[in-house]
A and B are shown apart, each in its own frame.
Chain A
Amino acid sequence: MTMRKAEGSTRRRFLELAGAAAAIGAVPVVTVREAVATPETMAAAIRTVVGTATVQPGKVKLDIPPLVENGNTVPMTVSVASPMTPQEFVKSIHVFNEKNPQPNIGNFFLGPRAGRAQISTRVRLADSQKIIAIARLSDGSFWSATADVVVTLAACTEEII
């Protein structure tokens, strides 16, 4: 009698343990990236640049491939519609992302001598996500453009070497 009871409880315990193990096994799959920028941290990073000013969509053109195979090097061009005269020019261009470990990609400072408000570089993307480029104009206004990028092979944030 007591033997049977013990057996039953062992079996139940085993099943419970198995279930728990399965649950534990599932958790790391979901939380494999510990440090990830979120839309909230991106918004905070944008706030540190623009302060309380409003960011209007327009004037900025963000060229980035909509589908990239390799997130380790993604060509990106940002251009801003501006006459680039000493009276009216683009002061800086700031690029942000949603899901890399950090929300910043780069800050680029131009001036009226640039002639054309356009920069190109190559970026890393750790996931499919939204990219935002924000331009600060000489009159203090901020303009932005966004682009969604699908990444099939993510950049090396969790790669083990």
Chain B
Amino acid sequence: MPSALINVPKKAKRGDTIEIKTLMSHIMETGYRHTAAGQVIPRDIITSFSCRYNGEEIFRADLFPAIAANPFITFFTVATESGKFEFEWIGDNGFSETASASISVE
């Protein structure tokens, strides 16, 4: 069962730079491992992550097999107005998950 952990400050002053931390549970199978029988374990990774702040994309990342399991990504943004952060992870085998967090800006 995929689950996301999001850390966004609940409150911020207008103009403050805030840190956003995200973690999505995912195996991030590289496609380079073998079973004991010699069969390649097929790749299963998250390929794309994005974050929108009140509808506008503020951060995006392309992920590769070199990203560790349960991708943990942190980045910054300027708190401009109260509203909602929407996060989206897209990956192999139709993986698609979303999460959101709200912030109040004074």
Expressed in whole angstroms, the Cα–Cα distance for A113 and B60 within the complex equals 13
User: How large, as a class, is the contact surface on chain A?
Assistant: 35 or more
Closest residue to A36 on the B side, CB-wise?
A: B32
The answer to whether A73 and B17 have CB atoms under 8 Å apart is no
The answer to whether A101 and B32 have CB atoms under 8 Å apart is yes
Q: Please tell me if B63 contacts chain A, counting CB pairs below 8 Å.
A: yes
The answer to whether A119 and B73 have CB atoms under 8 Å apart is yes
Give every chain A residue within 8 A of B66 (Cβ-Cβ): 97, 100, 102, 104-106, 123-125
Closest residue to A71 on the B side, CB-wise?
A: B68
Among A107, A113, A124, the residue within 8 A (CB) of B53 is A113
Expressed in whole angstroms, the Cα–Cα distance for A100 and B64 within the complex equals 11
The answer to whether A113 and B58 have CB atoms under 8 Å apart is yes
The answer to whether B67 and A109 have CB atoms under 8 Å apart is no
The answer to whether A114 and B75 have CB atoms under 8 Å apart is yes
Most chain B CB inside 10 Å of its own CB: which residue of A73, A100, A121, A123: A121
The answer to whether A114 and B30 have CB atoms under 8 Å apart is no
Expressed in whole angstroms, the Cα–Cα distance for A125 and B34 within the complex equals 17
Expressed in whole angstroms, the Cα–Cα distance for A72 and B56 within the complex equals 34
Q: Please tell me if A47 contacts chain B, counting CB pairs below 8 Å.
A: no
The answer to whether B67 and A101 have CB atoms under 8 Å apart is no
Q: Which of B76-84, B88-96, B98-106 contacts A (4 or more CB under 8 A)?
A: B76-84
Expressed in whole angstroms, the Cα–Cα distance for A158 and B19 within the complex equals 36
Q: Please tell me if B5 contacts chain A, counting CB pairs below 8 Å.
A: no
The answer to whether B62 and A106 have CB atoms under 8 Å apart is yes
116-161 of chain A: CB within 8 A of chain B: 116-125, 155-161
Closest residue to B74 on the A side, CB-wise?
A: A120
Give every chain A residue within 8 A of B18 (Cβ-Cβ): 115
Q: Please tell me if A110 contacts chain B, counting CB pairs below 8 Å.
A: yes
Give every chain B residue within 8 A of A122 (Cβ-Cβ): 67-68, 71-72
Give every chain A residue within 8 A of B33 (Cβ-Cβ): 156-161
Q: Please tell me if A35 contacts chain B, counting CB pairs below 8 Å.
A: yes
Expressed in whole angstroms, the Cα–Cα distance for A123 and B56 within the complex equals 28
Expressed in whole angstroms, the Cα–Cα distance for A113 and B16 within the complex equals 11
Expressed in whole angstroms, the Cα–Cα distance for A97 and B77 within the complex equals 27
The answer to whether A161 and B35 have CB atoms under 8 Å apart is yes
Q: Taking A101-B32, A106-B61, A108-B61 as contacts, is the C-beta distance between A116 and B17 under 8 angstroms?
A: yes
11 contacts between A and B (CB under 8 A): A102-B65, A105-B67, A108-B61, A114-B77, A115-B77, A120-B75, A123-B68, A124-B65, A157-B33, A160-B35, A161-B33
User: Which A residues are closer than 8 A to B by beta carbons?
Assistant: 35, 72-74, 97, 100-102, 104-111, 113-125, 155-161
